[in-house]
Structure formats: C-alpha cells, structure tokens
Amino acid sequence: MHPLERLAELRDTREAARRGPDPAATDRQHDKGKLTAHERLDLLLDGGTFTEVEPFRRHRATGFGLADRRPHSDGVVTGWGLVHGRTVFVYAQDFRMFGGALGEAHAAKIHKLMDLAEAAGAPVVGLNDGAGARIQEGVTALAGYGGIFRRNTRLSGVIPQISVILGPCAGGAAYSPALSDFVFMVGGIAQMFVTGPDVVRAVTGERVSHDGLGGAAVHAATSGVATLSHEDEESCLQDVRFLLSLLPANNRELPPVQPSSDPPDRPGDALIDLVPADSSRTYDIRRVLAVLADDGEFFEVQPAWAANLVCALARLGGHVVGVVANQPAHLAGVLDIPASEKGARFVRFCDAFNIPLVSLVDVPGFLPGVDQEHGGIIRHGAKLLYAYCGATVPRISVVLRKAYGGAYIVMDSRSIGADLAFAWPTNEIAVMGAEGAADVIFRRQIAAADDPAAMRQQKIKEYRAELVHPYHAAECGLIDDVIDPRDTRPVLIRSLEMLRAKHAELPQRKHGNPPQ
C-alpha cells in the first residue's frame, strides 16, 4: 500500500474513533443535554493544544458478544493539553461506547495517563461519564478501578487531582472522585452514589430518584462530596479552568503569580461599614474577602456545604493564598462538625501545594448541643486543629471581631503556630463573651445583690474592661499588632512577601495519625 494511502487510512481511522461506532449515539448524548468527550475537551483546554494518547486502543475481551464490539479508544479519551498555557493531563469517558463503562483496556489508558501526569508533574483532570464497571469483563474491570484508586492515593498531595462528574458515576467509580482534591458536578445530568435507587429500595424500602439520591444539589449542599454544582457543562468547565489557574502544577512548585493592576496598598475603606462593631450583628464575610482580594475575585470551595465557614482561593498582590474565614451570616460563624471537616481538608490541601493561609476570624465558639457532642465534635474539631498545627506554609490570622474559647485557638491562633496574628480594634479575644463570663465568675455576687440586673451589668463591664478590651491579647504577645481595618490588604500583602521564603521542618516520621 502506498504511503499516502496509509496516511489516508490513518486519518479515516482517527476520525472514525472520534465519531464513535454509532452515529446515533452522538444524537442520543446531545438529546440528554450532554456533550461528547471531545466537545468537553475543546471547552476545557486551550484551543488546538490537545494531544491524544492511545486513541486506537481496543479491548481484548471475547465473551458475551464483546468480540464483535471493539471500538477504538474503548470508551475513554486520554491525553494532555494546555489550560492558560500550562500543561494538564485529562481523561474523558465516552458514554457513547459501552455507556462509558470501565473495562481492562479502558482502565489501562487511565493508569497510563496518571503515570504520565506523575512523571511530568502536572495536574490530572477526569471527566467522568460512565456506568461503572464493565460487567462483561468481570473481575478484571474491578481490578482496573483498584489501579486508579492506588494512583489517586499515591498522587495525593503531589499533583492536583480534579474530578468532573458529567453523567452517572456509580459504585466503585465514585471512589476516585472521593480521593480527588476537587469534585465538580453538573445538575440534571450528573449523579454519584455507591448503591443506586433500585438497590436502596430493595434493601431499605426507601424510594428515591437518581437525583434525589446522588444528584449535584445533594452532593453540593448535603453530603459535601461536591466542591461546586453547576447548571451546565460550559460554566462548569470554565470554573475548572479558573481553579487550575490558581494551582501550582505540583507540590514542588509555588502557585502561579499573575500580575495585577489592583494596587497592593489599596485601602479597604468599605470595611468600616461592612463589619458592624456590635459583635451580635451579622454580615457576609465574602464581602470582606472581595474587598481584600485582587480585583475582588476569589474561588470559593464548597459554598453550599458547611456555609458557616468560608474556604476560598484568592490572590493578594498577584500571589495565591488560601482563605479560611468564619461566616457570621450563617449560624453566627460557629464551628461545627461539617465546618471543621471542610476547613481541615482545605488547610491540608493548601499546605500540600505551597499555598499560604490567611484566616479571617470572627467566631463565637463551637456549636453546642447533644447532636454535636454525640456526633463527635471533639474528634472532628480536632481535625481542623491538627491541620493547622501541621501546616508549614506561611500562616497569618486576622481577628475581625470576636474570638472566643477553643474556637479561637483552633482558628490558627499564635499559640498553634500562626506566623503573624493581627486584630482589628473591634476584636474581643477571650475564653467566652463578657456576659457569659460574668454569669460564671460573679454568680454569687449577682444573686446576693439588691438589684441583680444592675450588678450583672456592672460585672460585665468590669470583665470587659479587664480582659476583653482590644489590646489585652496584644499586651500578652498573642497579637502582633492591632491594625486599622482599612489597612488589612496592605498589611497582609507585606507580611506574605516577608514570609515567602519561609522554611519549616517537621519531625522525621512515616506519617502522622490525624483524628478521624
């Protein structure tokens, strides 16, 4: 055969692999409101930068009619491309072939891609749209999942791993996203669960829809599995691109610096009015973050779950930081079980990938209640404490208003290793609020007074003047400075610049044993 004929054959075979074995399958995919694997790659990657790996791979199974169904690519497209000019490895399951189900060859392609990502030191993104293990291939399909999970774990904290759920992701398939750093889902088309509605109904008698059991809204707001939920694939993949622009390629690099036209010394005049001096009044901490961040932009993680704690990536002076902030607009900003888990994982991620931490503190304490205590608030709260104490990246905390009790300690106080701690003049750092403290310390005097109410107010005033005034913690050396709120952005940027070369060593050990 002439070389030109071979080239034509190559072109035709490659095009056929992209089209899929059944032209009607593409129409069915579109009819469901879903894009094809290649259409998704076109949205995720910079135009014309995708290089495919093993496009002609086919399975070798022969049973149950598979011998006559051997499409090229075996239901998953793998390769690498650029996002904002930086290398990213990606695999995209193709639901048009075997419903995206994973077989031996399918898994081998993903293994190869993850190994390449490790070798190159670049992020890996998985676009999931598959019906679980390929039943016709039996145990070899299950072993394929095991290989993915093992690599997910080995690469944890080494390169960023992002899972995007764009269709069904059931059974064992759900555990790879669970091992990823971030999980994105699209409402209406994405579902993720270990056992489906039919099994749930058969075993428990509960009737639930696919979306009601494991849809995007459920995992974004109730389970906390999803980082973000989107209404369509386009906005979802744009957010993945935005997230990747904030992350380093691997744990040996610093996050990318993006020059900003937002002046580093810009004062935050709006902060005076945004945060009420009265600690009992509410406000939205995200508005504070918008004032502090370059151009008001930030990427919030899990905004619908554990909303009493805001975790976000932002830039200050062009450099990426991770922000952990109490949210007074939800549950008064208390720490509870979900918030502690959310904060702990975010802190550990930032520390693994050299992202400095800024903590904005306005916390009245841990959420009291029988449910919280019986649910293990002690061990769950310890997760956030453990994460902060083990973090070696630059760490700065700013107390905006109240910081009471153990929650003050846990929110990266100086005593657990924050490099710098600042406070606004409205800060109240104490074991508890003045009202509660007076009720405990002066209980007998108040009860014996002719006018208990007047005596209580007097003792509250005394306690506040002695221990809850803005400068007590500074006098004790637990606050480095009390700053004008309007200077917060310049102070943070200067401080982070000073800490950029920070180097800290942890004791030699195989690994720690974090609370579970």
Q: Are residues 418 and 381 in the same domain?
A: yes
Q: Are residues 170 and 186 in the same domain?
A: yes
Any domain includes 363: yes
H or E, element range at 497: helix 488-499
Q: Are residues 232 and 360 in the same domain?
A: no
Q: Place 506 in a pLDDT band, splitting at 50, 70 and 90.
A: confident
Task: Tell me if 384 sits within 8 A of 410, measured CB to CB.
Answer: yes
Annotated catalytic residue, options 99, 121, 375, 406: 406
Any domain includes 515: no
Q: Place 27 in a pLDDT band, splitting at 50, 70 and 90.
A: confident
Q: Are residues 224 and 319 in the same domain?
A: no
Span 384-431, pLDDT tens digits: 999 999 999 999 999 999 998 899 999 999 999 999 999 999 888 887
Q: Are residues 205 and 279 in the same domain?
A: no
pLDDT of residue 57: 72
More confident: 182 or 206: 182
More confident: 514 or 127: 127
Q: Place 2 in a pLDDT band, splitting at 50, 70 and 90.
A: low
Q: Which of 361, 371, 370, 377 is nearest to 416 (CA)?
A: 361
Q: Are residues 293 and 185 in the same domain?
A: no
Q: Are residues 409 and 338 in the same domain?
A: yes
Q: Are residues 164 and 276 in the same domain?
A: no
Q: Are residues 356 and 322 in the same domain?
A: yes
- Whether the model clears a pTM of 0.85, i.e. scores above it, the answer is yes
Mean pLDDT of 121-141: 82
Distance, in Å, from the CA atom of 169 to the CA atom of 215, rounded to the nearest integer, reads 10
Pairing of strands 319-326, 182-186: unpaired
> Phi and psi at residue 14, in whole multiples of 5°?
-65, -40
CATH assignment at residue 423: 3.90.226.10
More confident: 197 or 467: 197
Distance, in Å, from the CA atom of 365 to the CA atom of 420, rounded to the nearest integer, reads 21
Is-catalytic flag, 47?
Answer: no
Tokens matching residue 238: 């744009």
More confident: 470 or 267: 267
Span 452-481, pLDDT tens digits: 777 788 777 777 777 677 788 888 888 999
pLDDT of residue 440: 76
Best mean pLDDT range from 67-71, 467-471, 507-511: 507-511
pLDDT of residue 98: 64
Is-catalytic flag, 171?
Answer: yes
Q: Place 136 in a pLDDT band, splitting at 50, 70 and 90.
A: low
Any domain includes 504: no
Mean pLDDT of 182-198: 92
Residue percentage of the chain with pLDDT more than 90:
65
Mean pLDDT of 142-160: 93
Q: Place 187 in a pLDDT band, splitting at 50, 70 and 90.
A: very high
Burial 208-227 (b: 16+ CB within 10 A, else e): eebbebbbbebbbbeebbbb
Q: Residue 133 carries which DSSP code?
A: B
Q: Place 445 in a pLDDT band, splitting at 50, 70 and 90.
A: confident
Span 112-122, pLDDT tens digits: 999 999 999 99
| pLDDT at residue 64 tops 60 | no
Our count of domains for the chain comes to 3
| pLDDT at residue 62 tops 70 | no
Q: Place 65 in a pLDDT band, splitting at 50, 70 and 90.
A: low
Any domain includes 192: yes
Q: Are residues 73 and 92 in the same domain?
A: yes
Name the least confident of 122-136, 170-184, 264-278: 122-136
Any domain includes 3: no
| pLDDT at residue 511 tops 80 | yes
Mean pLDDT of 88-105: 83
Q: For residue 153, what are the domain limits?
A: 12-246
The total of other beta-carbon atoms located within 10 Å of residue 431's CB is 14
Q: Are residues 199 and 314 in the same domain?
A: no
Question: What distances in angstroms separate CA 430 from CA 365, 403, 477, one per listed residue?
Answer: 10, 7, 14
What are the residue ranges of helices labelled H in 157-311?
A: 175-179, 197-204, 210-214, 216-218, 233-246, 271-274, 285-292
Is-catalytic flag, 406?
Answer: yes
Annotated catalytic residue, options 126, 171, 215, 343: 171
Distance, in Å, from the CA atom of 219 to the CA atom of 158, rounded to the nearest integer, reads 26
The total of other beta-carbon atoms located within 10 Å of residue 265's CB is 10
Annotated catalytic residue, options 133, 407, 437, 473: 407
Is-catalytic flag, 215?
Answer: no
Any domain includes 338: yes
Any domain includes 216: yes
Q: Are residues 109 and 172 in the same domain?
A: yes
pLDDT of residue 241: 98
Tokens matching residue 441: 């310390």
Q: Place 67 in a pLDDT band, splitting at 50, 70 and 90.
A: low
Annotated catalytic residue, options 20, 75, 144, 172: 172
Span 210-253, pLDDT tens digits: 899 999 999 999 999 999 999 999 999 999 999 999 999 999 99
Distance, in Å, from the CA atom of 67 to the CA atom of 59, rounded to the nearest integer, reads 9
Mean pLDDT of 3-9: 72
